Amino acid sequence: MTNSGSRKIVLLTGSTGAIGREIAISLAGKGCELILPVRDIERGNQLVKDILDKAGALAGPVHLEACDMSSLSSLRNFVGRVQEAYPRLDVLINNAATVPPTRQLTEDGLETQFCVNVLSYFLLMFSLSSFLRNSGKARIINVASNLAGDLDLTDMQFEKRKYNNMLAYKQSKQADRQLTWAGAKFFADSGVKVFAMHPGVTTSAILKGVGYEKGWDSAEFCAKMAVQLVMEEEGMKTMETGTYWVNGEETACPWQENDQECQAVWDYCKKCAGVE
């Protein structure tokens, strides 16, 4: 078991991506203890070296954990290990994403982009809920996007429509925001706060996957919003759970008021994950 003391223990998915890497470096430099689930351990080991080199002497411990965000069994095994190995969890940052060019199915028969971009967010929030509640004032940060919309509740996995990876990505990012609103209600009787955020637009595999060659923000800039939500202790007193953040400011979201649809997204994820 780790001896974390007063350090924040942060679980960050998608840490090998452009934005996730910078979030990890910044949080490590602020003394946070990081749990990084990765599919490719060799790539993860290089990431840890880079994090510790760049974060400097104040860097907190960094732990790699093998986990495939497209596999329900891998996610469940990872959750079990986290609950056994760590004394608590202060922050969960859901940041994993993929944009396959063609419709692909996971080992569980789920559409891959839906599984990674949406279902992994839900499953970690839901499966770690007791652990997060026990931490006291924990928070969940769902990395969403302003590139969002056109969600079809009757066809979340493109079983009826022709697959389009841009449309699938937009749909997944709308779903992430709606999971945030539903998650805020799920955690309403606890000290856990749930936020969604748009990080910015930087050059990355995800951006190229949806057809854009180059972004206009640096990866360091795109990490700032997540870091602020993790570290801004005083500001948390005025930051309401279930809110959407862009460029350091709470921003209105057109889907936030549709409680029925938000709950429908949550319930669909429960069904796909096989949880009660």
pLDDT at residue 1 in the model: 44
Q: Which two tokens stand for residue 102?
A: 């063609």
Which residues share a beta bridge with 121? none
| pLDDT tens over the chain, length 276 residues | 455 567 899 999 999 988 899 999 999 999 999 999 999 999 999 999 999 999 888 888 999 999 999 999 999 999 999 999 999 999 999 999 898 899 999 999 999 999 999 999 999 999 999 999 998 889 999 999 877 889 999 999 999 999 999 999 999 999 999 999 999 999 998 999 999 998 876 666 766 666 666 665 676 887 888 999 998 755 655 689 999 999 888 999 989 889 999 999 999 999 999 998
62 close to 24: Cβ distance less than 8 angstroms: yes
Task: DSSP letter for 206, please.
Answer: H
Q: Which of 128, 40, 33 is nearest to 76 (CA)?
A: 128
Which residues share a beta bridge with 244? 196, 251
Q: Which CATH class is domain 9-273?
A: alpha beta
Start-end of H helices in the chain: 18-29, 41-55, 72-85, 112-114, 120-127, 129-134, 165-186, 205-209, 219-231, 259-273
The helix-helix angle for 18-29 and 41-55 (nearest 10°) equals: 40
Q: Which two tokens stand for residue 87?
A: 């004394």
Give the Cα separation of 214 and 203 in Å (integer). 5
Domain edges within the chain = 9-273
Give the Cα separation of 38 and 4 in Å (integer). 21
Q: Which two tokens stand for residue 199?
A: 């990080």
pLDDT at residue 214 in the model: 64
Backbone angles phi, psi at 160, to 5 degrees: -105, -35
Torsion region of 48: left, alpha or beta (phi above 0 gives left; psi -120 to 50 gives alpha): alpha
CA within 13 Å, CB half, 235:
11
Measured CA to CA in angstroms, residue 107 lies from 74, 117, 271 at distances of 11, 16, 17
Residue with tokens 């922050």: 91
